[in-house]
Amino acid sequence: MIKEKFLLFLAACLILIILIPHCQLPKPVASPSQFFGQLLENLEPEKPVTLIAVGDIMLGRSVNAKMRKLNDFHYPFLKTADFLKSADLTFANLESPFYDGCPTTNTGMIFCADSRAIEGLVFAGIDVVNLANNHLRNYGETGMKKTVELLNKNNVSIIGLNDNLVQKEIRGTKFGFLGFDLTSGYQEEKMIKTVQENSLRVDVLIVSFHWGAEYAKEPTEKQVELAHKTIDAGAALILGHHPHVIQRVEDYHGAKIVYSLGNFIFDQPWSEATKRGLVGIFTFQGKKLINSEFKEVYIKDYSQPEFTTR
């Protein structure tokens, strides 16, 4: 028995003598903190993804007249474009259809924009627009068809048509966008089901609601209830439009609800509230919303927002 153990020991020694010259042992580390520091240095941190969202963009009426007069279809975006296109994704609610026969006017409630105004959206780096709103069909099927055609041609993604989901993958995270117009009635159960189903297809789902009462300073109880149901169904961020004034922002179950971003580009100079809007900056680390902040804009010259100092 002793002899067998001795032979096994000799065999093990021989194996070690053969193998050790071929093994590369790790360099000694001074301390555990230095060891873990070296490990962290070798790990590439996941870079956050930034989404910028703005309120209502209406490129018709006085805005249209101003751009035509100056022959400058970048004009409404000149003071904000650099900031908007600095984000990984930039989102807006487009409140006016493009139409080749759009009249030049400063009055009226039927909105349309010169087709050349698409240049401004591209200049500002707008990636996704919501068309689910009460002015989409101001110029009928012809205007809507032209709008979709121009946006597609210029690689601006569209939501709000037949509950379609737009997906954008940034650094391995799948972002999804849905848009709904709630101003002329909707089926709540169907909408919540759409949110729930699409939330399973992406990592981060962003929902745009065209809703609420125009010029109201607060959302209704029904809006708050619906927003909570939408978050519970899987949305990570709700972006509200239509009231034309800023409304409050709410944190709910780790998600963010912006009830109204207010106006971004609009010719409503008759009140201070309608000349102001919010620009939301939302930062995601993977699936998680890790930060949100807001900058305020003030609309001058009936058409051009600029960032305020406060």
**pLDDT tens digit sequence for 238-265:** 999 999 999 999 999 999 999 999 999 9
Q: Which two tokens stand for residue 308?
A: 């305020």
Q: What is the pLDDT of residues 120-136, one digit of tens each?
A: 999 999 999 999 999 98
State residue 12's pLDDT score: 52
Query: Residue 23 — pLDDT band, cuts 50, 70, 90?
Result: very low
Mean pLDDT of 263-280: 97
Mean pLDDT of 263-277: 96
State residue 184's pLDDT score: 85
- More confident position, 100 or 12: 100
State residue 26's pLDDT score: 45
State residue 230's pLDDT score: 98
Crossing angle, helix 221-232 and helix 188-199, to 10 degrees? 30
Q: What is the pLDDT of residues 82-110, one digit of tens each?
A: 999 999 999 999 999 999 999 999 999 88
pLDDT value at 220 more than 80:
yes
Count of Cβ atoms closer than 10 Å to residue 23 Cβ:
7
- More confident position, 35 or 233: 233
Phi and psi (nearest 5°) for 93? -100, 120
* Whole-Å CA distances, 135 to 202, 237, 255, 260: 29, 24, 29, 17
pLDDT value at 303 more than 80:
yes
- More confident position, 46 or 39: 46
Q: Where are the domains of the chain?
A: 2-42, 50-307
For the chain, the residue count is 310
Provide the CATH number for the domain formed by 50-307 in this structure. 3.60.21.10
Mean pLDDT of 302-307: 97
Which residue type sits at 132?
A
Lowest model confidence (mean pLDDT) among 42-46, 83-87, 122-126, 304-308: 42-46
**pTM for this prediction:** 0.85
